[in-house]
Amino acid sequence: MLLVPVMGPHVRLVRRQSEVARALFGEPFFYVMKKLNQYQICARVRKGVESFAKATGYPVDLCGLCGIASHALAKAFRIHGYSATLVAGMYRTQSKGSHSWVESKDKIWDVTATQFKRGKVVVVDKKRSKAYKRGPEGWQSIDSYRTWGEQCPTWRRTQSILKRATIIDG
């Protein structure tokens, strides 16, 4: 992903390149002014998800938003230069269904842990965690998320969260 700062007389050129990128890749370029650390990104994405939930009628504990929120978090990490893997699996208290989170730098980042009566943002060491269990091979593919219906992470939903989180320009 190419990061292009917005400044000076180059703005017109950048906007033109953004239009070309959208036509070619289906996504715009991002304009990052200040690099944030991963905890700051999580806090912003969490606020964006809370705002999205309120506007779209999701519960305040963010149940049902893990796929969309995790997709937005993974995008935000990548925008700021961090590696990120979107993961689908199960949380230990689930008897059925699935859960989604982001793995980056040997840590699990979960911005919707409130649905399991945990904190707003949970960060745990991947090797020590017994609560998060990856699903079988193939669960990480975007095709598996397409079966999630209204919980499926789409670019429109992700973009809405990232704008609300002030990760990308609106």
pLDDT per residue over 14-65, tens digit each?
A: 444 445 445 444 554 455 456 789 999 999 999 999 999 999 999 998 988 9
36-164: CATH class: alpha beta
Short-list 87, 102, 98, 88, CA closest to 41: 102
Structure confidence by residue, pLDDT tens digits, 108-147: 999 998 888 887 878 888 777 888 888 776 555 555 666 6
**Can you tell me the distance from the alpha carbon of 73 to that of 101, in angstroms, rounded to the nearest whole number?**
9
Domain boundaries, the chain: 1-31, 36-164
pLDDT of amino acid 105: 87
| Residue 95, pLDDT score | 63
pLDDT in tens, 90-100: 888 766 667 88
The pTM of the full predicted model, rounded to 2 decimals, is: 0.73
